[in-house]
Structure 1
Amino acid sequence: MRKIVVHMGVSLDGFFEGPDRDISWHTMDDEMHAFINAYLATTSAFLFGRVTHELMADFWPAADQDPEVSGPMPEFAGIYRRIPRIVFSRTLEQDEWATSVHCEVDPEHIRSLQQQPGGDMTVGGADLIDAFRRHDLIDEYRLFVNPVLLGRGRPLFGPGDAPADLELVDSRRFGNGVVMLHHARRRG
């Protein structure tokens, strides 16, 4: 069964965006990007909210054509184009970089996607993550904790209905100071 994995960067104090939607504090270097590419190349779908989808679609489809782009970034452009992108939005009808668009999270549809063959499906976007959490659809969390305290901004996780018991599966410190924490849900 395919797992649904949150794959996001956060500040040490739990924000994924700073004030005014600022994400310039997210730290990325070639080592970390190569690590992320190696994992994402094994996945079978990106599950995005509209805002995350639009941010990704504005840059990645043609990033490998830009002579300024180097290191592992051109490789990710190919990964991005190859992996289906399922977008959840009440306002977006369709666009060329969305494989499919759904107006809401239907737990039965998501569970049927999980039954299909293939690698993990990564979910990105705070609102979408909250919806998946409400429906108890998240199997794992891969959070890339940046060495910064923002003090304010938009938290990755809103209040939840029930606690989720997690187990640390892996952790990794990158040379840029980011620490990846990989947790799995304990079920049953």
Structure 2
Amino acid sequence: MGRLIYGFNVSVDGYINDAHGSIDWSEPSDELHQYWNDFERDTALTFYGRKLYDLMSAYWPTADEDPDAPPLIVDYARVWCGMPKVVFSHTLESVDWNSRLERGDPVEVVTKLKAETEGQLEVAGATLAAPIVAAGLVDEFRLVVAPTIVGGGTPFLPTLPSWISLRLLENRTFPGGTVLLRYEASRA
């Protein structure tokens, strides 16, 4: 059985983007970028919603072709293209870069694939994560808190029917004051 992780860069007030959809405030340091590169390299399967997949697939498949791209970008581009992905969408006709299209219920599909897949799994995107978090399928939360308050936008976590107890696994500070908080969901 796989271990499902939900992680994202978030503002101090808990948003993954601002009210205009911008993530410019969350520019990672090289050390943080390397952290995410290594995280993705160790991921057996990532679940994407359509919006985040569109954003990622618009840049990463050709990012390594830029002669001025730094090694961190080249590395992430290659990791991202090769990483197995399941993309949930009712509007996309096809997906590329080691991805498969899924139109089923995210909670049902993630439950099934989590049981069938060994290793680290990732849910990427707050909209997709919302029902998965609410269903109690996430084993670990990774919040990379940027020292910025954005005042609104897309929340990292959905409104929940009840609270989720967490146990701190790790905290780490990156350059610029960004802090990683890793929590394991406590199952009663």
SS of the residue 2:96 aligns to: coil
Structure 1 residues 105, 72: CA separation in 2 closer, same or farther (over 3 Å shift)? same
Structure 1 residues 118, 83: CA separation in 2 closer, same or farther (over 3 Å shift)? farther
Query: What is the CA–CA distance in structure 1 between the aligned matches of 2:147 and 2:28, rounded to whole Å?
Result: 12
Q: Could you tell me which residue of structure 1 aligns to residue 125 of structure 2?
A: 125
Unpaired segments of 5 or more residues in structure 1? none
1:139-154 correspondence runs (5 A): 139-154=139-154
1:15-164 correspondence runs (5 A): 15-97=15-97, 99-164=99-164
Q: Percent identity?
A: 30
Structure 1 residues 98, 54: CA separation in 2 closer, same or farther (over 3 Å shift)? farther
Give the partner amino acid of 1:115. Answer: A
What TM-score do you get using the length of structure 1 for normalisation?
0.93
Question: Which stretches of structure 1, 4 residues or more, deviate above 4 A after TM superposition?
Answer: none
Query: What is the CA–CA distance in structure 1 between the aligned matches of 2:144 and 2:46, rounded to whole Å?
Result: 17
Unpaired segments of 5 or more residues in structure 2? none
What TM-score do you get using the length of structure 2 for normalisation?
0.93
Query: What is the CA–CA distance in structure 1 between the aligned matches of 2:151 and 2:22, rounded to whole Å?
Result: 13
Aligned residue-pair number: 188
| Deviation (angstroms), 1:97 | 3.4
**Given that residues 83 and 98 in structure 2 are in contact (C-alpha distance below 8 angstroms), is that contact kept between their aligned partners in structure 1?**
no
Cα RMSD after superposing both structures: 1.6
Residues 11-42 of structure 1 show CA distances to partners (whole Å, capped at 9, x for unaligned) of: 00011110211111112121111122122211
